[in-house]
Amino acid sequence: MRRWLTLLLLPVLAILILLLPRVVVLPPAWNPWTPLDLRAPPGLLTRYKLSRMAGEPGLCAASFSLSGIPLQRLPPQPLRNGCGIEDPVRLPGDLRFSPGTPVVNCPLAAAWVIFERQGLQPAAQEAFGQRVTGVRHLGAYNCRNLYHRAGGRRSRHATADALDLGGFTLADGRGIGLPRDWDSPGPPGAFLRDVRDAACRVFGAVLGPDYNAAHRDHFHLDRGGWGTCR
């Protein structure tokens, strides 16, 4: 009898939890149904809201306009054979990217904005007392499988849901990069670890030199759900 009662109550409870944010007025950061404010520090619902963007067209752009951040949207490249970019945008912000500003899937750009404001820039201030002004990257979109293998799963790069970072330029022109500065005992090494850890709070997976030899010269950031952070 009690088991039946539990079975009956569980769906009722689930419905109540789902409806609660629609009935009670929650602050936007605590309400899973409102678009993500990209100016706010990462919170409990940040990754959930980022993952919702992938399934709901328009939600990502809505987050950018809510946050007052200009966004350059490009024509969609529909998926074909596991490759394409559903909601392509140019990576926003005023950083100088080399070589060129990458085109990524919009939810990745949203994650980037939070990471840059709440992770990358504070880490540079802490280590060097200045801003990062440039980013050296190794690409975002690439129609390929994991580790360039002939078979197996598509890489997150195949949908521009990933970005590889090789290094950073500071306001005074100094460069900090992988693999050279990873083992530096001073501020450069501490900065790169801070950057990696900050990326882990926003992106689904972050792979760097601690992960394997294939990532010794870059941080791979993507929105995958595995939660790997090394």
Q: Could you list the residues that contact Zn ion (CB under 5 A)?
A: 162, 164, 220
Q: Closest-CB residue for Zn ion?
A: 220
Q: By C-beta, is 118 or 155 nearer to Zn ion?
A: 155
Closer residue to Zn ion, CB minimum distance, 40 or 143: 143
Alpha-helical runs (H) found in the chain:
2-23, 46-55, 59-66, 106-115, 121-128, 187-200
H or E segment at 227?
Answer: none
Taking the C-alpha atoms of residue 26 and residue 110, their distance in angstroms, rounded to an integer, is 22
Q: Token digits for 144?
A: 């390929």
d(CA 218, CA 9): 50
Q: How far is the CB of 222 from Zn ion (least distance, A)?
A: 7
Q: Report residue 215 as tokens.
A: 């990532």
Q: Classify the phi-psi angles of 148: left when phi > 0, otherwise alpha if psi is within -120 to 50, otherwise beta.
A: left
The CB-of-143 to Zn ion minimum distance in angstroms stands at 13
**Which one, 116 or 164, has the nearer CB to Zn ion?**
164
Beta carbon nearer to Zn ion, 220 or 223:
220
